[in-house]
């Protein structure tokens, strides 16, 4: 049995807490923490009466808490991961690992110095069945050498207009990891173009279009539309020299009815990736019982941050940017 504490009990933290409490054998949610205490109390009740904390240090130090999930807003991830590392407790941290390269590097160096893997990153597309099927096809070699990665990641409408930095660091981070994981290649160059969202706010982004090149010469493009008006979708298409393959676009079937053919589109990530979120925490708990996490690493989080930073620099300068060649610690 792994006794888990959940930091941040909003949309994602609430989902992880309930999945751990009700869908994960060998896991128990024993504590939750949120600056919004009534929110934490509600989730604690849903999880069968977990302890409620209002500050980070207390939940990390609680002797009943053996492992933690971080699902607070992005700027608070780095401090929370560092607290878990210092306490020697395993942690599943939502993406992004941090919001600056310096913070991500500090976490990487601290974990490496500790001599054991404690951190897993929430790049949960690795647990999505359509993505796994595409990965298996690629790994079989049937598509031949890849020449193009196309990632489409679109949302219906976020509550507030988003800055270009937030779109890249918070959302495109998923697509950056997808490309690295599926192609098993590192980025060498990126180029950002984008369409503004609010006319008199030049920092806001409605549509991000990123181009990229990888070490082996494969090219790629990522499209992130923050306001489709029609729903949420994540698609990946990989073209190889011997064919191309694309993930299924939605969880619902294609319907033919009254002379129309249609496929309902998911409203958001909580619906589209419902199964993947369950499988992610189930796998995480099993891996901890076996000794250490086996999912996406601190290294993956750090590299995603370095690539995201290059996309941000390209957005600001209007020029393609080189992605530094990084040496992975042994």
> Rule CB under 6 A: which residues touch ligand NAI?
7-13, 33-36, 39, 71-74, 76, 94-95, 122, 124, 170, 269, 273
Q: Identify the CA nearest to 307 among candidates 196, 153, 176, 149.
A: 176
Q: Are 328 and 124 in contact (CB under 8 A)?
A: no
3-state secondary structure of 245: strand
Q: Minimal distance in Å, beta carbon 72 to ligand NAI? A: 4
Q: Are 305 and 98 in contact (CB under 8 A)?
A: yes
Q: Which residues fall within 8 angstroms of residue 102, CB to CB, at 6 or more apart? A: none
Nearer to ligand NAI, 72 or 239 (CB): 72
Q: Minimal distance in Å, beta carbon 307 to ligand NAI? A: 17
Burial (CB count <10 Å: 0-12, 13-18, 19+), residue 161: middle
Nearer to ligand NAI, 73 or 141 (CB): 73
Q: Minimal distance in Å, beta carbon 319 to ligand NAI? A: 28
Q: Identify the CA nearest to 97 among candidates 74, 129, 68, 125.
A: 74
Nearer to ligand NAI, 143 or 276 (CB): 276
Instruction: Give the whole-angstrom CA distance, residue 71 versus residue 6.
Output: 7
Nearer to ligand NAI, 191 or 299 (CB): 299
Nearer to ligand NAI, 159 or 330 (CB): 159
Q: Minimal distance in Å, beta carbon 324 to ligand NAI? A: 24
Peptide bond into 96 cis (omega under 30): yes
| Residues shown for the chain | 330
**Residue with nearest beta carbon to ligand NAI:** 10
Instruction: Give the whole-angstrom CA distance, residue 19 versus residue 278.
Output: 6
Give the chain's largest Cα–Cα span.
Answer: 63
Nearer to ligand NAI, 8 or 240 (CB): 8
Nearer to ligand NAI, 9 or 204 (CB): 9
Report CA dihedral (280, 285, 288, 292) to the nearest 10 degrees: 0
Q: Minimal distance in Å, beta carbon 55 to ligand NAI? A: 8
């Amino acid at each position: 049995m792994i006794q888990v504490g959940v930091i941040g009990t909003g949309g994602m933290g609430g989902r992880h807490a309930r999945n751990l409490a009700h869908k994960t054998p060998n896991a128990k949610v024993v504590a939750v923490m949120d600056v919004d205490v009534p929110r934490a109390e509600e989730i604690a009740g849903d999880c069968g009466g977990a302890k409620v904390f209002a500050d980070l240090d207390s939940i990390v130090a609680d002797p009943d808490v053996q492992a933690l999930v971080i699902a607070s807003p992005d700027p608070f991830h780095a401090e929370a991961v560092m607290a878990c590392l210092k306490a020697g407790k395993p942690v599943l941290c939502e993406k992004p690992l941090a919001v600056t390269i310096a913070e991500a590097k500090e976490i990487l160096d601290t974990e490496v110095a500790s001599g054991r893997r404690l951190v897993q990153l929430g790049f949960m597309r690795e647990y999505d069945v359509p993505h796994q099927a595409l990965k298996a096809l690629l790994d079989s070699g049937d598509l031949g050498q890849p020449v193009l990665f196309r990632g489409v990641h679109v949302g219906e409408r976020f509550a507030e207009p988003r800055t270009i930095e937030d779109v890249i660091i918070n959302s495109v981070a998923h697509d950056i990891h997808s490309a690295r994981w599926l192609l098993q290649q590192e980025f060498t160059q990126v180029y950002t173009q984008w369409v503004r969202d609010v006319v008199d706010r030049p920092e806001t982004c409605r549509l991000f279009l990123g181009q990229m090149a990888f070490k082996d010469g494969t090219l790629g493009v990522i499209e992130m539309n923050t306001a489709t008006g029609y729903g949420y979708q994540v698609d990946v298409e990989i073209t190889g020299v011997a064919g191309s393959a694309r993930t299924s676009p939605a969880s619902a079937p294609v319907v033919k009815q009254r002379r129309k053919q249609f496929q309902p589109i998911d409203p958001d990530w909580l619906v589209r990736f419902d199964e993947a979120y369950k499988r992610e925490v189930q796998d995480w708990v099993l891996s901890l019982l076996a000794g250490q996490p086996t999912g996406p690493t601190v290294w993956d989080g750090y590299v995603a941050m370095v690539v995201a930073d290059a996309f941000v620099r390209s957005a600001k300068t209007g020029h393609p940017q080189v992605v530094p060649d990084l040496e992975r610690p042994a």
